[in-house]
Amino acid sequence: MEQNDHFALSCPIPISQYPHVLLAHGGGGRLMHQLIGKMFLAAFRNPLLETQHDATVVELAGKKLAFTTDSYVVRPLFFPGGDVGSMAVHGTVNDLAMSGARPVYLSAAFIIEEGLPMETLWKVVCSMQQAAQRCGVQIITGDTKVVDKGKGDGVFINTAGIGVVEHDQKIAPQNVRPGDGVLVSGDLGRHGMAIMAVREGLQFESAIESDSAPVQDIVLALLKAGIEIHCLRDLTRGGLASALNEIAEASRVRIGIEEKSIPVREDVHAACEMLGLDPLHVACEGRFIALVAAKDVERALLVMRGQGTGAGSAVIGRVAESSAPLVTLKSAIGVSRILDMPSGEQLPRIC
């Protein structure tokens, strides 16, 4: 494209196709990756940011620390199995845990919509406090803003977190090797379907409750057991399919998983079938995948299963050498196919 003199002094907007931000740009799929790559990475580029891990590990005054941030904009604020407050703690604690860090401190920033009942806010705050206590972290700084009615969904919460890295392993999406085993810490898709069921007024025989939970205990147990961990990633927006594709891309490997070995609860599976969604694309809030050295796969599974929230852990696949990054899924009838990253938002199908 020709450079227009008039705009020579400003940055041209690198995304040419959509002149406006769509909801799909936040959906955890390919559109979001394009947005991050072309906008944020391009503008802020530095080696630490480029690791693109859930939390970044930095060295300060001889100490290794992990740092991360996340915003929570869930609607409704309260849902079966959790609420925005506990999620805001678990999510950030889990991001820290994905670098193998022990979470220590959190910040909490509230963007509150005018008119929110004080009682609702208090319930959210209490839930945060309880979650923080359970995770052994302290909320040590914060911020409060109120916006006009109609400009927010009750309350948006941002938390940032700091954790201490007490191991010498290199845990990052770039460090996955052929032969590594892929483990998942429990059944998939419950958080996403719980939210969707409440939000869209879909009724099932029993309520699907969110899997929102802290996972740091499982990770710390893996480290303590001396498991050689190459990568950890929590399965939030975009689900398992996005996480595996990101890792395959970063390490330039082929990751092969088996549909039969992936734990998905029956009610979640049924809800997904009904709506035409794929459980492998649906978000979790208390699940992660661990890619560990081949020699440690069996032991890692035992360690994970030995932890409360990891009881449903399973080995779901292997990493292989490949000329191009690729994720494949062996289907229920035994045929392999590509497992792609979802495109944007998950849209229910017509029929």
Residues that bind another protein (CB under 8 A): 17-18, 20-24, 30-31, 34, 200, 202, 266, 269-270, 273, 275-276, 324, 326, 331-338, 340, 343-344, 347-351
Q: How far is the CB of 177 from another protein (least distance, A)?
A: 21
Q: How far is the CB of 22 from another protein (least distance, A)?
A: 5
The smaller minimum CB distance to another protein, of residues 81 and 279, is found at 279
Q: How far is the CB of 335 from another protein (least distance, A)?
A: 3
Q: How far is the CB of 211 from another protein (least distance, A)?
A: 19
Q: How far is the CB of 322 from another protein (least distance, A)?
A: 10
Q: How far is the CB of 107 from another protein (least distance, A)?
A: 30
The smaller minimum CB distance to another protein, of residues 130 and 331, is found at 331
The smaller minimum CB distance to another protein, of residues 50 and 273, is found at 273
The smaller minimum CB distance to another protein, of residues 59 and 205, is found at 205
The smaller minimum CB distance to another protein, of residues 269 and 305, is found at 269
Sign of CA pseudo-dihedral 215, 252, 21, 279? negative
CA dist., res. 275 & res. 48, Å (int)? 40
The smaller minimum CB distance to another protein, of residues 135 and 282, is found at 282
Q: How far is the CB of 23 from another protein (least distance, A)?
A: 7
The smaller minimum CB distance to another protein, of residues 60 and 338, is found at 338
